[in-house]
Each structure stands twice: as structure tokens, then as C-alpha cells.
Amino acid sequence: MSSPDPFAGQAPCEQRRRQREKLEVPSREEIEALDPFRGLDPRRIIVPVSAEEVDAAHAALAVQSHVGFDTESKPTFLRGERSEGPHVLQFATLMHAYIFQLHVPRACGAVAALLESARLTKVGFGLEGDKAQIRARLAVEPQGVLDLDTVFRERGYRKSVGLKAAVAIVFNQRFSKSKRIGTSNWSHRELTERQLQYAANDAFAAMQVFAAIQAQAAAAGRRG
């Protein structure tokens, strides 16, 4: 299923201009000079554990049209070692992030239902690897997945746009990601506060970027 085009409302002249332009992705140095992106309030990060909490989280997400999405896996360091991930899947609205750990009872079923829903568009960056791991771990085919890198490419950016670059482009802010946290053990039954914030903000920032470019497209359509 093709994902909705957030720039569909742009005026034809704006679309043609975007096609002609070849835009540059901000450099690491340029990004580092920006003010920091404000992440999600930790009180809005939800980690469902009980069956009731998992069901409530699924219900809250299932009524959305779009959510930010990403996954985390225990890293592999040895040649030939296969990842057993994903161990964590995170979904975010503009107000909350939900962190599902797959060892939690009922979490696999709730996550699979969200992933298979074509009505719920999951937006994020660099999701091809995530989808491959999801197929292997959960035996489901993700539907309604929108990799925002393709959206920025369609806007005329020369190189791949990841989450850091997207936040810089859209908000003129610096999104920080700790390599140490990113490569930590995501299979632990109890994640640290920093792991939860890392996972939540990956999905939350992607949702913020998507909402912003939707708003830009709507404004361009009104001007056209």
C-alpha cells in the first residue's frame, strides 16, 4: 500500500520548483551550532507492562491516523552474529510515546496489530532495516509505513536525510542522539531512564517533523 503524500496539497509551481532544486543536507558542524530540540516530557512516556496497560496503549494508538515509529535491538558485535531484535518498538503521537518491550505478555499481539494496520500510517527514518527485523521476529508484514527520507528526497535534497538532519531542516534545531545509549542492551527486562528517553524521542521527533511538513504543505496549498 502506498503511503499518503504529505506534500499533495502543494501548488503546482511549488512542486516544479522543488523538482528543479537540489538542496543540501546540513553538515554536522552546522547542526551542532543549533539550539537543542526539546524532547518529550518523561512523564508522557508510557511503558505498558500489565495486560490492561498493553490493551490501553494499543487502543490509544489504534485511533490515530499517523504515529511516529522506530525500533531498538540489542546490538551485535561478532561477525556472522544475527540480531534477535527488535526488542523494543516505540510509537508516538504529538503528546505521548508508547514503549513496547516484546518480552511483555500481550505486547507482541498488540504491536503486530498496529504494524498490520494499513489505516495507521507509521512515519520514521531509515525503516527498511526495521521492517526486515519485524518480518523475522514477528512474522508480520508492516503496512502503512512512510519513510520520511523519501519525502525529503522528493523535495529536492541531494543526500539521504535522517532524523538529525530533518530536525535541523524543519525546526532549525539540534537533535541529539547518544551512540552509547543507541548501542546499549535493549533486551534488558527493565530499561534505564535514558534508554526510554532515547527510544521515545526517536519516534516523537519523527512525528513532530511529519506534522510540521504536513502543515507546510497545507499552507502552500492555501496560498496556491
Residue 224: what pLDDT?
Answer: 66
Cell triple for 22: 537540489
Instruction: Give me the residue label for grid cell 531509515.
Output: 126
Beta-sheet pairing, 88-92 with 97-101: antiparallel
Output the CA angle 221-211-143, nearest 5 degrees: 105
For residue 10, give every residue at least 6 positions away whose Cβ sits within 8 Å of its Cβ, in sequence order, or none: 18, 217, 220, 221, 224
Residue 22: what pLDDT?
Answer: 80
Ranges of residues in the chain with a pLDDT under 70 are 1-21, 77-78, 80-81, 224
69 touches 84 (CB < 8 A):
no
Model pTM score? 0.88
Rounded Cα distance between 30 and 9, Å, is 30
Cβ–Cβ contacts within 10 Å for residue 190, how many? 8
Output the CA angle 163-88-161, nearest 5 degrees: 15
Structural domains in the chain plus CATH codes: 12-223 (3.30.420.10)
> What amino acid occupies position 42?
P
φ, ψ at 6 (rounded to 5°):
-70, -10
DSSP state of 179: H
Question: Nearest-CA neighbor of 186 among 132, 133, 140?
Answer: 133
